[in-house]
Each structure stands twice: as C-alpha cells, then as structure tokens.
Amino acid sequence: VQLQASGGGTAQSGGSLRLSCVGSGFDFGWAPVAWFRQAPGKEREGVACISSSETIRYSDAVKGRFTISRDNGKNTVYLHMSNLKAEDTAIYFCARGPCIGPILNNYREYGSKFSGWGQGTQVTVSS
C-alpha cells in the first residue's frame, strides 16, 4: 500500500493550489482516502477525506475553502485548496483509512488506522 502526494508549492494568501494523491498496491476504487497536514512544531491534523462511495468529511479549519474529489480511473484523489491562508502552510500527506469525522479529527488517537503514508508535499502560503 502506497500513496504519494504531489502538487505543493508556494501561493499567496487568497490564492489556490491543487494537490494530487496517487495510490498503488491496493484496490484504489474501494479505499477511503484522507488528507492530513503537519505544520512545523504542531501535531499532524486531518484535513479532508473521501470514501469509496464519495462520502466526504472536512475539518472545520478548511470547510468551505478546500474541496476533495477522486478519479478512480487514475487512482488519484485531489485536494483543491482555495482562499489559502498563512495557517495552511504545512506538509500535506495522504493515506488510506476510514472516512469518519471523529476519526479524521483525532489523529493522536486514531492515526494508526491510516496506512500508506508517503513523503508528503510542502505547501507554503505567503501573506
């Protein structure tokens, strides 16, 4: 099981970026996939997730600004980020795991339920 995030970069406050997460080594179409992020000196936190039936959950921090979607034909989950803020600066990771709100929002307790972590992709938002 492996998922690789890409598409990060530098954007200005208020700008947009689209991240991609490509999965391999498992039946991608049946897998729920989540995005997480980790800022320097902070704990990893859940951002958004999408189930195989396209049930979607977002953290309160990104709701209304980020959109998650998937293309099973390309084994890819996308995270479209708009109206970016300086506090969105972090390394963004994707992983396979349950798309349930309380699980997404409590990495400290439920992080072990996720697998396939890649190296992540850096997002930097300048103000």
Q: pLDDT at residue 127 above 90?
A: no
Q: What are phi and psi of 23, to 5 degrees?
A: -105, 150
- Report the Cα 26 to chain-centroid distance in Å: 18
Handedness of CA 66, 70, 71, 74 (dihedral sign): positive
pLDDT band at 115 (very low <50, low <70, confident <90, very high): very high
Q: Give the Cα separation of 62 and 11 in Å (integer).
A: 16
**How far from each other are the two terminal CA atoms of the chain, in whole angstroms?**
37
Residue 26: per-residue pLDDT = 95
Residue 35 near residue 51 (C-beta atoms within 8 A) = no
CA distances (Å), origin 14, targets 65, 97, 112: 10, 30, 33
CA distances (Å), origin 60, targets 3, 34, 41, 46, 78: 24, 15, 20, 10, 19
Residue 118: per-residue pLDDT = 87
pLDDT in tens, 17-68: 999 999 999 999 999 999 999 999 999 999 999 999 999 999 999 999 999 9
Residue 125: per-residue pLDDT = 98
Q: pLDDT at residue 100 above 90?
A: yes
CB neighbour list of residue 97: distance below 8 Å, 6 or more residues apart = 32, 33, 34, 49, 103, 113, 114, 115
pLDDT in tens, 64-88: 999 999 999 999 999 999 999 999 9
